[in-house]
């Protein structure tokens, strides 16, 4: 059974629906419309490396707001709408299948002044990336995950159909980092979000549902995506 809690906030940002059995969901709002305004945006603000408009602040005239990640002890500053749906799914699977997360373990949005926009972590400035335990998996270090944990990471990426990129695949690794790897309005993002939101309404689907990450079909998909993303 799923549970749904309607959370009110400003008229500009509209209404979010949190599905306890799935991902952080968002109904169509002014915020989600802003996500599809294109990489240039109306305000002239710079974009993060993945093409999303950066935000100077959170929780005030912004597409980035602090949200609780259902099922975990974590709150995260994240871009509302599609980005939140996808990245919350990633965080929840990490929590359930790799290691339990506590308050402070996940860092989402950061001001543009605190990140380099010419590096993947610059995606945090648009609220479209999260760093999970950045102190445990610092930039430049490889090998932070045990083999079984890495198998789960690869399965999560494959489940997201290449919409999410893992920082461990970059030339300068950042194994804590998970970013959207598509620009606003990309069809792959729309398809994935539709699937995740459908899972939220289905018993036995979505994050927290046991999956066999060693299944041959899932492993083949994960390995094929790994080759593609490492070649980028």
Q: How confident is the model at residue 210 (pLDDT cuts 50, 70, 90)?
A: confident
Average pLDDT on 35-44 reads 48
Q: What is the predicted pLDDT for the residue at 31?
A: 42
Number of domains in the chain: 1
Q: What is the CA radius of gyration of the chain?
A: 16
* Domain extent at residue 139: 4-231
pLDDT at 21 over 80: no
Contacts of 143 (CB under 8 A, 6+ apart): none
- Of 195, 167, 176, 206, nearest to 71 by C-alpha is 206
Residue with tokens 């990450």: 213
Residue 51 gets the label, from left (phi > 0), alpha (psi -120 to 50) or beta, of: left
How far is residue 185's CA from residue 2's CA, in Å, rounded to a whole number? 28
Q: How confident is the model at residue 203 (pLDDT cuts 50, 70, 90)?
A: low
Average pLDDT on 88-92 reads 96
Question: 180 has which bridge partners?
Answer: 164
């Amino acid at each position: 059974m799923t549970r749904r809690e309607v959370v009110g906030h400003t008229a500009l940002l509209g209404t979010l629906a949190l599905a306890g059995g799935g991902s952080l969901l968002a109904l169509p709002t002014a915020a989600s419309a802003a996500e599809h305004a294109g990489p240039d945006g109306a305000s002239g603000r710079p974009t993060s490396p993945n093409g999303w408009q950066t935000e100077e602040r959170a929780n005030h005239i912004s597409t980035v707001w602090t949200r609780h990640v259902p099922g975990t002890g974590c709150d995260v500053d994240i871009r509302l709408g599609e980005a939140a749906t996808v990245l919350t799914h990633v965080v929840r699977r990490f929590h359930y299948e790799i290691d339990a997360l506590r308050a402070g373990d996940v860092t989402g949005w950061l001001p543009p002044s605190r990140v380099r926009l010419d590096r993947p972590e610059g995606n945090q400035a648009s609220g479209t990336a999260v760093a999970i335990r950045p102190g445990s998996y610092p930039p430049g270090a490889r090998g932070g995950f045990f083999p079984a944990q890495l198998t789960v990471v690869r399965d999560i990426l494959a489940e997201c159909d290449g919409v999410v990129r893992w920082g461990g695949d970059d030339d300068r690794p950042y194994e804590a980092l998970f970013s959207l790897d598509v620009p606003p309005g990309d069809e792959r993002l729309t398809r994935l979000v539709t699937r995740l939101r459908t899972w939220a309404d289905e018993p036995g689907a979505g994050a927290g549902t046991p999956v066999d990450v060693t299944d041959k079909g899932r492993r083949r998909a994960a390995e094929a995506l790994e080759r593609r993303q490492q070649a980028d």
